[in-house]
Amino acid sequence: MYYYSLNNYLKSTFGEKVYKISLNGGMTCPNRDGKIDIRGCIFCSRGGSGEFSADSCLPVSQQIEQAKQRIRAKSDCQKFIAYFQPFTNTYADVDYLRKLYYEAAMPDEIVALSIATRPDCLSDEVISLLDEINRFKPVWIELGLQTIHKRTAEYIRRGYELGVYDEAVLKLKSIGVNIITHIIIGLPYETKQNILQSVKYAGERSNGIKLQLLHVLKDTDLLTDYNNGVFKTLTLEEYVDVLCDCIEILPPDVVVHRLTGDGDKELLVSPMWSADKKRVLNTINKTFRERDVTQGRLYK
Ligand code: SF4
């Protein structure tokens, strides 16, 4: 393995393979409910980037049970991560969040609680709740940064400044939770240099990183710009080339949670090559081998 993969990290931390269970806490997002905007980030699907999560009408314990049954039908996995994925999963009343998080974190077979959110949705009350839970179950917080560049952040309608991310990182570090930052590769107007700057910045401040290829999805404003020829999506070769450079500049102890993207194929418009995940991963690994991207820094 040419990078510190999530699987390696999970095996060395928990001693065996661990599956993520995608949960739906029924949240919305300030970028959609009108607090900041009603349009959402320009690339975000109607499902709030969580097309594979469970039904929010079900209690969390039931969502977990159903997911466990599905996973156990194809593997003997005993340990799971409870992952609140769609929309902004700290954007609610703290009493509601407490009930939700406790229900997800309490079962013995849940080894960590992972929460996807925005850096501007981490009030002091939420931080204190995360601290409380992190004392008995590891908490991971995923921050959707996507880019450090102001112009791109405005174009994608992220809705917060880089300084807000910096403040969130400091707060999260002070309570010792695991920080995972999302970066999108291939955003309109960004050069390879821009992408590497974002990855370096996030890598120096995070325990883990999710590198996500830009997907153009149906029913998004990004699709309108794409159809109007405002930008092109990356080819597989271009993506792998920049990805290798990103991996090379990451600190060796930063866990790589994602190398491509797991978009919903029903919604995907471009790049269509990304739907063939096996081919993408084979090309990535072949290129890693050829370029020796980690300069001999191999992970078992
Ligand atoms: S912050 Fe997340 S959920 Fe909200 S609009 Fe942006 S990508 Fe979608």
pLDDT 10s digits, 222-244: 999 999 999 999 999 999 999 99
Asked if CATH classification 3.80.30.30 holds for the domain at 4-295, the reply, yes or no, is: yes
What is the per-residue pLDDT for 264?
81
How far, in Å, CA of 42 to CA of 231, rounded?
A: 13
Q: Is 41 in the pocket of ligand 1 (CB under 6 A)?
A: yes
Q: Which of 27, 28, 29 to mutate to test the pocket of ligand 1 (most atoms within 8 A of CB)?
A: 29
Chain centre to alpha carbon of residue 118: 11
Say yes or no to pLDDT of 297 above 90: no
pLDDT 10s digits, 107-131: 999 999 999 999 999 999 999 999 9
How far, in Å, CA of 106 to CA of 111, rounded?
A: 9
pLDDT 10s digits, 142-186: 999 999 999 999 999 999 999 999 999 999 999 999 999 999 999
Give the Å distance between the CA of 206 and the centre of ligand 1.
Answer: 20
- Please give the mean pLDDT across all residues of the chain: 93
Which residue has its alpha carbon closest to ligand 1 atom 2? Answer: 87
How far, in Å, CA of 188 to CA of 201, rounded?
A: 19
Say yes or no to pLDDT of 54 above 70: no
Closest ligand 1 atom to residue 32 Cα is 5
DSSP 161-198: -HHHHHHHHHHHHHTT-EEEEEEEES-TT--HHHHHHH
Q: Is 119 in the pocket of ligand 1 (CB under 6 A)?
A: no
3-state secondary structure of 214: coil
Q: Is 100 in the pocket of ligand 1 (CB under 6 A)?
A: no
Mean pLDDT of 47-59: 69
Q: Is 27 in the pocket of ligand 1 (CB under 6 A)?
A: no
The conformation of residue 283, written as its DSSP 8-state character, comes to: H
Which residue has its alpha carbon closest to ligand 1 atom 5? Answer: 40
Q: Is 271 in the pocket of ligand 1 (CB under 6 A)?
A: no
How far, in Å, CA of 185 to CA of 211, rounded?
A: 7
Non-local (6+) Cβ contacts of 187 within 8 A are: 146, 147, 152, 155, 156, 195, 214
pLDDT 10s digits, 250-270: 999 999 999 987 778 899 999
pLDDT 10s digits, 86-107: 999 999 999 999 999 999 999 9
For the chain, domain boundaries: 4-295
